[in-house]
Structure 1
Amino acid sequence: MKIGKPQLLYAAKLFISAMLAFALAESIGLQNPYWAMVTCCVLSNPVSGAVRARATYRFCGTLFAGVLTLGLSAWLSNTPVLLIVAAGLSSSLMLGLSYLDRTPRAYFFQLGAITMMLVAIAYINHPDTMFTMVVTRVTEICLGILAVTLVDSVLFPSSLAPVLRTRLKGWLADLARWQEDSLDGKGSDAQADADRIRLLGDIASFNQMMTTLGYDSSVDKPTRQAAISIQQRVLQIVPLLSAIGSSIAALPVGLRPRLQPWLNEVRRQAVEPAPHAAPSVSLLPPAASLSPWETLIVDELAEQVEQWLTLWAEVQQLNAFLDGEPLPAALQAQMMRSRVFSPPPDIGMAVRMFAGILTTYALLCGLWYFTGWEQGANMVLMGIVAIAFFGAGDNPGATIATFGRFAAIAMALGALLSYVLLPLAGDYGSFLIVMGLFLLPLGVWAASNPLATLAIALSLSNVNFQGHYAPNNMGLYLESTTGTLIGVYFAFLCAALFRRWGTDQVVARLMRQDAQEMLRLNRHVTERDLQRYQARALDRITALGSRLAAVGQADRSPQLLMRLKTAIDLIRLQQAGALSPGASPNAGLPAAFRQLSLHAEAPSALLGQIDVGLQQAWRQNDRRALRPLTRLRLLHFPTALHWNP
């Protein structure tokens, strides 16, 4: 574990905000002041924008859950069983909805559901005190939010601006190297493919930062909009670069030397910061000297390069704008209209998680009902936390088991604090020393391990903090620990009921999603729809790339970009009306390419089908169909004999 300035600073912020929150809660006489401390642990983050984002969503989620709980308890206060059912359905639905939003906004649903369980379930037998408990809990959490925000903004402010510029510069440097390789027609190797998949992953994860930047007061709106615009253009450049590299690598031997002057001009324009101007067509080989197949190759390559240089010039201008240079009025207007790309919701996963959470809740509530155990509420809560926060990974069994180990560690730490350290504190000064000995080392650990933050929160939740030393009975504490572990065990079992575990299962599911989306595309797809599809496909590629490496199939990663390029060319054929059912020879191409797996080569029958389509488009002089058909032939059959009309 690395210990440096960031880790020490994080621990200091956590300790100061927790002690401030506890002092405020205790001074106004709140019933459970330790919840203000727990809130500080949950909200702490090394970056100010992330703290404010979490604080906002935590407050809104808590307030919403409080109002909903009061409404349900007022309506169902005389029927506790129905209240349990209504609270379980509401909480499970909120947690399921959190999986539809892959941004920090999901925090609203997650914390709202947990808050509802903390109040509605824990005090189900005392409906007369429900209103008081909701108000008290909301107040305690708000004090924690206030303390964290105050310490983070006033004492230790930080900004994402340096991180933003570093990441953008890293992207542009990686893209510049990719561009050089593409123009040189270099074949990809395993390392280059892995680097490019990592680049795509970094670009895709940028959405999280963009949402957080909205709460970072040190980053103004034009800067955020410029970063969003760069991301959108980079997402469009990636498939273009890949297609250009494939086309140049597949150039006929006799054509490459004749294209070299034009390629040199393209390379020169790519490295110059001047606004884009199309490479002179006079540098291209004369049309009379080209065969029909070479004519098609040159035409599609010139089109791809034109699109890439236009986007790359805009990226350079936007990057210069971040350094203080002015922007053209038209580009600035486009920039200010840009919106953060929202990752596509995985409805299937959300439904399965909802079913797993609801089943866990029902089983644990049934056990609580039939045993009448006093720790039943704690058991239900910890089971839901385990499956909701740790049950969505590729291997939920391992992550839930890890959570169980950290929960056991947290209970041991809570016992150490409650029965060994706190008896040493006789006044507030000595209490600060004891809490410093406890929180500061754990804060350093939590800076590099998010589960350690959870361990701190759990340990503090099980210590009966008051204005004076009033520890729980040891037997009660051990019962609470047992309830926690039983809840985690039930979560482990229920996580396997509605989904299959394993990275290979996730890979298969993502491939099915990709194939289904390819078939849903039709001839009425607009350019905006195409951009959205590219963004969604690149999001899937990043998810698949890391998983293929994890299962020892990294050699299949190059096929991911090939599949994306194939889909884009099929969309272009759709837009050209060349895939209409009936007389079109291309009508069967989408289904044929959809059936190809990542490791399968295109069958030779597809080559004949593409050639027939080229023949028809050539006779009709349909360039909108000729270009994507040419790219499909170059991409899947680079060594095939030249096509002739």
Structure 2
Amino acid sequence: MLQNILSFRPKPVDWIFSIKTFAAAVLALYIAMAFDLDRPVWSMATVYIVAHPLSGVLASKAVYRVLGTLLGAVVAVILIPNLVNAPMVLSAVLALWVGVCLFFARLDRTPRSYVLMLAGYTVALIGFPSVTDPISVFPTAIARFQEITLGILCATLVGHIILPRHLGPVIAAQIDGWMGDVAKLVIESFDADMDPDQLDRDRARIASDLGELRGMALHLGYEKSRFAGQTRELQALQSAMASLLPVCFAVHDRLTALKAADVKVPEELRRLCDDIIKHINQESHDPALVADLHHRVTAFRDQIRQADDWGGLLMINLCDRLHRLLDFHHDCRVLWDGIRAGKAPSDVLGRWYGAAGAEGMDRDANGAVRSGIAAMVAVIAVCAFWIATGWNAGGTAAMMAAVGSSIMSFLDNPVPALKGFMRYTTIAVGGVVFYNLMILPGIDGFPLLVLSFAPYCIVLGVFMTSQVTYGFGLAMVVNLVMILNLDTTFSSDIESILGGGVASLIGFAAAAVATALIRVVPADQSIMRLVRANWRDIAAVARGSFAHGRLILVRRLLDRQGLILPRLAMAPQRRDTLVRVMPEVSIASALYDLRMTTLFTNKRVSDRIKVLLRSIARHFEARLTDPDRLPDPWIVEEVDNLLRMAVSDLAAAERERLVLPLVALRRTLSKTGVPRLRKHSGGGMLPAQPTIMGETA
């Protein structure tokens, strides 16, 4: 962290943010003191807790924090008076509430989770200080709610009135950048000689970046930028852009397969691919050109519709992917143009928004349970020590155990962040002692108080603008303010201050220990959980038990790819896992299409497809315990048998419906060997070596 702090170079906008935040904090402190609120520092600290450089994010955090604080205050008022005579039961109930709230907060991967998290540890913030005086719980709850709401209002007003920085332009710049990245990816995907590792990195990076858009779009309803109120449209755009990634993967794979099979790509198809590249890289979007390209793709496919060789089937499949590429890219451009114009087409919006909901996102129920249990254990352990020893500052330690278990729970391994918070708290205690002994005794009046805090808060507030130094800046400011416990009159009580600082450290230490023992999952295990979740969904698709449509299926698998990427930095030995996971979107889509084909084809073919699907489902279910399990060679043979049957025995429409997913699936089963599609005396196919399912698309 020290290296990050020393290398940080703030920009003018960072200084503006820090000055605005300090101004809002001072305003909140002044109003709280003027109205003689119970603990004015809560208002000042709240400003820093909800502060964000972007006005939309700031406003949404403010709303969620008010709601969470209100819910927590109500629960505290209900629980404390009724259970105060049974301290162990009260501790257990409060710990259970914190854990349950954290569990549901972890399941909700949107900014709304802040409501439940706040509701959980707000009960601890209000409840534990009131245990020794239960009659005061209602006034304390009212005071906390007033102080926190005051801080939120001041932060929001200052953030929106003084040089506001809206979220909309930031999102617009990112989308333009992603559009450019997708256009570059298309160029790379049409190059059969492109380095596969580079393609994997580019696809993974785009998938990871797109994951940010969904959460950012949720904040747009809280600001007045040009994109305000277009959350649904932006989430639909995210789904459409994400769906381009597996299509690009498939295009590159089919071209690579044609080259590996020594099949010469017809000049007409080459020109068509070049024109698609030119179209996608144009700055302006021409729907008429899209229609013309679709017509040319269809015309070429009609020329090879009756092909009965592997090269011909690959080109038929490639034509289908080109249609999808044109359609998905057209929808992206139309949505983006409509969003910028303030009116996205309803038909395109309806097509993609359904895949943007919670069903299309991964949920880590196991991680949520572990987080909840870790929070419960940390709070109960501190409470048991508090009750057994009669420690005066035990309530503060219990509060910090609840807070520490909650605020870092979104990380795979919160322990390093908690340790960092403890280090920063220790440094802040040194600052508290300095201010208490050297600065505050000489302060007379609010203006001097503001001047004395300005250098410290403004300099450290700048660090809150960077993700890598945010925790340092926040901890240094908030801990100083809270431990000093500023009020209308100055009173120096070093023993109490140091006791509160030590209690805070013990609370965070309890959270860190409980988290390390219960919650922490190594990065490689986290990656494999995501991979196994993919396999379960793929098996469900093969068995016909997947309850959602194709777009949600694709979106969910792509969401997991985006979650895997940042974890690879901590588990580089799993880098090949990402390469193997990427084609699983194509695998799932092919199985989904095969399942749908059984509804339209004759019973003889349908029964054989169902047997194949059950075998593939068993393969993926077996990989849950044996990740490197190879597919049964019979699966490869049966795919080739079905391909041969489709080529020789089925009518044109039924033939194409079956060939498209079978060709894609055949490419996932083996990178070597070519299926023998014409009947001959030598057997049904050329030798093929099965590989790990998911290695290609």
- Please indicate the TM-score interval, normalised by the length of the shorter structure: over 0.9
Does residue 428 in structure 1 map to residue 457 in structure 2?
Answer: no
Does residue 495 in structure 1 map to residue 512 in structure 2?
Answer: no
Report what 1:256 is aligned to. Answer: 265
Deviation at 1:522, TM superposition (A): 5.1
Does residue 208 in structure 1 map to residue 215 in structure 2?
Answer: yes
Report what 1:352 is aligned to. Answer: 370
Report what 1:150 is aligned to. Answer: 157
Report what 1:544 is aligned to. Answer: 564
Report what 2:688 is aligned to. Answer: none
Among candidates 400, 403, 420, match of residue 402 of structure 1:
420
State the TM-score, normalizing by the size of structure 2: 0.86
Does residue 92 in structure 1 map to residue 108 in structure 2?
Answer: no
Cα distance in structure 2, aligned partners of 1:359 and 1:366: 10
1:631–1:643 distance in 2 versus 1, CA, 3 Å: farther
Among candidates 526, 534, 549, match of residue 529 of structure 1:
549
Does residue 312 in structure 1 map to residue 329 in structure 2?
Answer: yes
Report what 2:640 is aligned to. Answer: 611
Report how many aligned residue pairs link the two structures.
644
The answer on whether the counterparts of 2:362 and 2:560 sit within 8 Å (CA) in structure 1 is no
Among candidates 51, 58, 68, match of residue 75 of structure 2:
68
Counterpart residue type for residue 590 of structure 2: D
1:31-89 CA deviation, whole Å, 9 max, x = no partner?
21111101111011101001101110111111111111112234335444433332222
Cα distance in structure 2, aligned partners of 1:329 and 1:495: 46
Counterpart residue type for residue 502 of structure 2: T
The answer on whether the counterparts of 1:390 and 1:403 sit within 8 Å (CA) in structure 2 is no
1:191–1:297 distance in 2 versus 1, CA, 3 Å: closer
Which segment drifts farther, 521-530 or 255-264?
A: 521-530
Counterpart residue type for residue 286 of structure 2: A
- Give the secondary structure class of the aligned counterpart of 2:391: coil
In the TM superposition, 1:171-182 aligns within 5 A as 171-182=178-189
In the TM superposition, 1:158-557 aligns within 5 A as 158-221=165-228, 223-251=230-258, 252-258=261-267, 259-271=269-281, 273-275=285-287, 276-277=290-291, 278-280=294-296, 281-284=298-301, 286-287=303-304, 290-324=307-341, 330-331=347-348, 343-448=361-466, 449-451=469-471, 452-471=473-492, 473-499=493-519, 501-521=521-541, 529-553=549-573, 554-557=575-578
1:512-568 CA deviation, whole Å, 9 max, x = no partner?
222222222256579962211211111111121232343224344322212222222
Which segment drifts farther, 58-67 or 514-523?
A: 514-523
Counterpart residue type for residue 274 of structure 1: D
The answer on whether the counterparts of 1:87 and 1:117 sit within 8 Å (CA) in structure 2 is yes
Which segment drifts farther, 430-439 or 313-322?
A: 313-322
Report what 1:633 is aligned to. Answer: 666
Which segment drifts farther, 521-530 or 88-97?
A: 521-530
Which segment drifts farther, 55-64 or 573-582?
A: 573-582
Cα distance in structure 1, aligned partners of 2:547 and 2:226: 31
Which segment drifts farther, 501-510 or 524-533?
A: 524-533
1:583–1:114 distance in 2 versus 1, CA, 3 Å: closer
1:549–1:613 distance in 2 versus 1, CA, 3 Å: farther
Cα distance in structure 1, aligned partners of 2:569 and 2:606: 35
In the TM superposition, 1:22-41 aligns within 5 A as 22-41=29-48
Cα distance in structure 2, aligned partners of 1:261 and 1:208: 40
Which segment drifts farther, 370-379 or 515-524?
A: 515-524
Cα distance in structure 2, aligned partners of 1:261 and 1:421: 76
Counterpart residue type for residue 475 of structure 1: E
The answer on whether the counterparts of 1:250 and 1:639 sit within 8 Å (CA) in structure 2 is no
Does residue 558 in structure 1 map to residue 575 in structure 2?
Answer: no
1:326–1:18 distance in 2 versus 1, CA, 3 Å: closer
- Give the secondary structure class of the aligned counterpart of 2:295: coil
Which segment drifts farther, 584-593 or 178-187?
A: 584-593
Deviation at 1:478, TM superposition (A): 2.1
The answer on whether the counterparts of 1:40 and 1:147 sit within 8 Å (CA) in structure 2 is yes
Q: Among the aligned pairs, what percent are the same residue? A: 23
Deviation at 1:399, TM superposition (A): 2.6
1:283–1:616 distance in 2 versus 1, CA, 3 Å: closer
1:245-288 CA deviation, whole Å, 9 max, x = no partner?
11111114234135324434444554462213113233458338
1:585–1:105 distance in 2 versus 1, CA, 3 Å: closer
Report what 2:689 is aligned to. Answer: none
1:380-412 CA deviation, whole Å, 9 max, x = no partner?
122222222235533333232222212212222
Counterpart residue type for residue 205 of structure 1: E
Cα distance in structure 1, aligned partners of 2:262 and 2:663: 17
The answer on whether the counterparts of 1:576 and 1:625 sit within 8 Å (CA) in structure 2 is yes
The answer on whether the counterparts of 1:442 and 1:456 sit within 8 Å (CA) in structure 2 is yes
Gaps (5+ residues) in structure 2?
1-7, 599-604, 679-697
Cα distance in structure 2, aligned partners of 1:440 and 1:358: 36
- Give the secondary structure class of the aligned counterpart of 1:250: helix
RMSD: 2.8
1:211–1:335 distance in 2 versus 1, CA, 3 Å: same
Counterpart residue type for residue 441 of structure 2: P
Counterpart residue type for residue 512 of structure 1: R
The answer on whether the counterparts of 2:45 and 2:481 sit within 8 Å (CA) in structure 1 is yes
1:510–1:344 distance in 2 versus 1, CA, 3 Å: closer
1:20–1:58 distance in 2 versus 1, CA, 3 Å: same
State the TM-score, normalizing by the size of structure 1: 0.92
Counterpart residue type for residue 552 of structure 2: R
Cα distance in structure 2, aligned partners of 1:630 and 1:534: 19
Cα distance in structure 2, aligned partners of 1:333 and 1:583: 32
Report what 2:690 is aligned to. Answer: none
Cα distance in structure 1, aligned partners of 2:589 and 2:236: 21
Counterpart residue type for residue 292 of structure 1: D
Cα distance in structure 1, aligned partners of 2:584 and 2:355: 27
Does residue 17 in structure 1 map to residue 24 in structure 2?
Answer: yes
Report what 2:682 is aligned to. Answer: none
- Give the secondary structure class of the aligned counterpart of 2:111: coil
Which segment drifts farther, 298-307 or 315-324?
A: 315-324
Does residue 643 in structure 1 map to residue 676 in structure 2?
Answer: yes
Cα distance in structure 2, aligned partners of 1:66 and 1:315: 45
1:343–1:253 distance in 2 versus 1, CA, 3 Å: same
Cα distance in structure 2, aligned partners of 1:208 and 1:328: 22
Report what 2:61 is aligned to. Answer: 54
Gaps (5+ residues) in structure 1?
none
Counterpart residue type for residue 91 of structure 1: V
The answer on whether the counterparts of 1:7 and 1:444 sit within 8 Å (CA) in structure 2 is yes
Cα distance in structure 2, aligned partners of 1:315 and 1:566: 24
